Every structure is written in structure tokens, then in C-alpha cells.
Amino acid sequence: MTFQDLTDWFLKLDYVKAKAYYWVLQIHLKKFNKLFGNTPVDQIKHSDLENFKSKRKAEGKAPSTIDQEVMAVRAAITAAYKDKKVGSDTLMTFRGVERLLKNKNSNARDRVISRSEYENLFKNAAPHLKPILATGYYTGMREGEILSLTWDKVSLQDRIIRLKVGDTKDREARIIPIGDELYSILEDQSKVVPKEPEETHVFLYKGKPIRDIRTGLKDACKGAGIAYGRFKDGGFVFHDLRHTFVTNMRKAGMHDGVTMGITGHSTEEMRKRYDRIDLDDLRYGIRGLEGFLRNVNQNVNKTPSEQEKGVSLESPNPLKSLGAEGGT
């Protein structure tokens, strides 16, 4: 059996086709098949896999992308082993390939875009890209969840998006509220893309589901004067909208549990990775300290009863202190 034969078998499995990232698996396996599609699976050696990684790295691919490609290949091999299509020696050959990113946090991002950056990006985006950007910005949904979204999961009447178990990376169903800004955009989208049949994708380009938005996003970033790319200084990628959403929710004073319920973050550690403290937060912290110290100084020579009267139970509104951009 060649690796192309194995790929064809793997991608036809019902449980594989049900995965939200099925289209990503197709792309990754296609890359591997360009080199090893005609090679019998049991003849692919460990050195071949290491050479594949080196070749992709020389082509300028990010370590995270290469790791994802290798993991897709390993997933296909593991499934084949469980169905007794390949032997244990073949399984160990593929499992023996190490990740380029050995530290789970080494690929963590900290890019959060400001409100003005988002508006400028939205303004310069192509028509088919605008509602996708808005959905990412106002919900924190993952790119794959957005691109695979169909109308049967969107209720404009109830203003919610219902993701099923098979739609999410963490394999857990979620309910995502639709705010006023996004509602208006999705309502307009429903006039462009018909909601019948219900399985129709919400976001289409030339009548077909959108699989890759990188070209459109690069063009939008160029028009907005924003660097694009994971390894560019201050560079922006779509996933940064998820970081931005989590950070904005915290600035708006939302409970961590609420944010995690919307984004699907299963642990507090993961949520913290997506929440970034910026200069406005630091300034607000100093202003809070100054207010506290002024209150202490004013109470130094007062009696206990006078101090109690002078204490305000209301804390300043951070959104007013930071201004519109810092608080959104």
C-alpha cells in the first residue's frame, strides 16, 4: 500500500470526515503525498521523515506548520495500525519523529489588535472576508470553526451560534451569543448567502465554501498598514483575533468563566495564555494605586467613624479611565 492509498482510505473514514479540521488534514496530507505518495508505506524510513521536515523548513514554513503536517501523517498511520493495515515497525517509524516545537508554550502568541487596527483592517478587507473578521473579533471563535459554520448552527432570531461536539477542537459543544454589531453583519450576510438549505456554509466565495483566507488577509493587512505573518515584528495572523477577544472580555470586566464558556478554553492556564496585559492595563493599575494612596493619606488624621464615611464603595470604571479604545 502506498501512502497515497493510505491517505485515500483514511480520508474516507466517517469519523475522520466528521472532524472540524478535516479540511486541514486534507491539506497537510497532500503536502506529504507530493514527496511520498507513490512510496509503499512500509518503505518510508525515519530519515525520509526528517528530510521532509528539513525540506519544509528550507521552504520557509513555520515549525508549528511542519509539526502539524507531521502529526496529520502520524494520525493516518495510527488509524491504519489500529485497523491492522500496517505493522508495529511502521507505526514506530512514524511515531519516532519528534516535534520541532518541544515546549508546548514555545508557539504562544501575544499579539492583540486595538480597536482602531481592527476597524482599519475591516475597512480594507474584501467583501467576503469582512464578516469572517467580524465573527472572529466579536466571538473569539477559531478560524476553522468560522469557515465551517453553516446556517443550521446560526439562529439570528435567538441571537446565538450553536456549535456541536464535532465542530470544535476540544470536542465540546458550545453556545456563543451574537451581539448587536455581529448580528447586523450576519443579518446582511443572510441576504447575500441564502439560508436554504440549512447546511449551506455561512461564508462563501464565488458560491463555494472558503477554505483558506491567507491571501485575502495579507491584502487587507497591506491596505491597513499592518504587518502580516507570525514571524514579522508586530505581525498579525487571524488567530490573534482570539487573543484580542479574550483580552477585551477581561477589560470589559467579564468573569473568566463566562469568557471560557464562549471561547471553549478548558483550563485557566490556557485562558491566561490568550489574555494579555498591555500598557493601558498597567496605567490603570498605577491610577488605582494613586487613588488608594490618596484615600489613605486623607484618612491619616481622621477618627475611625470619619474614615468610614469617607470610604467609597464604588471603584472607578476602567473603561472610562482607559477611553474607548483601551476598554473595548
Average pLDDT value over all residues in the chain? 82
Quick one: 119 and 264 in the same domain?
yes
Tell me, yes or no, whether 54 and 130 share the same domain.
no
Residue 101 lies in a domain: no
pLDDT of amino acid 328: 37
| pLDDT for res 22 | 85
Is residue 140 situated within a structural domain?
A: yes
Is the domain of 197 the same as that of 265? yes
> Are 72 and 129 contained in the same domain?
no
pLDDT of residue 263: 84
- Quick one: what percent of the chain has pLDDT higher than 90? 48
Grid cell digits, residue 267: 483550563
Task: Give the span between the Cα atoms of 287 and 82, in whole angstroms.
Answer: 60
241 and 288 belong to one structural domain:
no
Q: How far is CA 213 from CA 23, 105, 219, 230, 238, in A?
A: 13, 25, 10, 15, 9
Cα dihedral 305, 306, 307, 310, rounded to 10, equals 130
Verify that 125 and 234 share a domain, yes or no: yes
Residue whose entry in the numeric block shows the C-alpha cell 488624621: 301
194 shares a domain with 127: yes
C-alpha–C-alpha distance, residues 84 and 29, integer Å:
20
Q: What is the pLDDT of residues 13-28, one digit of tens each?
A: 998 888 767 888 999 9
Best CA proximity match to 178, nearest among 195, 158, 198, 206: 158
| Residue 217 burial (CB count, 10 A) | 22
* Pair 154, 233 in one domain: yes
Q: Which helix (H) or strand (E) holds 175?
A: strand 174-177
* Number of neighbours of residue 76 by Cβ within 10 angstroms: 25
The predicted model gives 93-120 an average pLDDT of 78
pLDDT band at 272 (very low <50, low <70, confident <90, very high): low
Tell me if 100 is assigned to some domain. Answer: no
Q: 276 or 181, which is more confident?
A: 181
Number of domains in the chain: 3
- The span from the CA of 69 to the CA of 74, in Å, is 9
Residues 299 and 154 in one domain: no
Name which of 89-98, 103-112, 192-201, 260-269 the model is least confident about. Answer: 103-112
Q: Which residues contact 179 (CB under 8 A, 6 or more apart)?
A: 138, 159
Q: Got the DSSP string for 4-62?
A: HHHHHHHHT-HHHHTSTTHHHHHHHHHHHHHHHTTSBGGG--HHHHHHHHHHHHHTT--
Residue 167 buriedness (CB in 10 A; 0-12 / 13-18 / 19+) = buried
Are 73 and 40 in a shared domain?
A: yes
Range of the domain at 120: 115-274
The predicted pLDDT at position 89 comes to 93
Residue at which a domain ends, from 229, 247, 274: 274
Question: Does the pLDDT of residue 43 top 50, yes or no?
Answer: yes
pLDDT band with cut points at 50, 70 and 90 for residue 90: very high
pLDDT for the residue numbered 60 = 82
Q: What are phi and psi of 103, to 5 degrees?
A: -90, 125
Identify the CA nearest to 276 among candidates 246, 297, 254, 233. Answer: 246
The predicted model scores a pTM of: 0.60
DSSP letter (8 states) at residue 151: G
pLDDT tens, position by position, 143-195:
999 999 999 999 999 999 999 888 887 778 888 899 999 999 999 999 998 88
Residue 142 within a domain: yes
Q: Is the pLDDT of residue 286 over 70?
A: no
Q: What percent of the chain has pLDDT over 70?
A: 79
**What is the arithmetic mean of pLDDT over 200-226?**
93
Q: Are residues 125 and 40 in the same domain?
A: no
pLDDT-wise least confident of 123-132, 162-171, 174-183, 300-309: 300-309
Residues 31 and 158 placed together within one structural domain of the fold: no
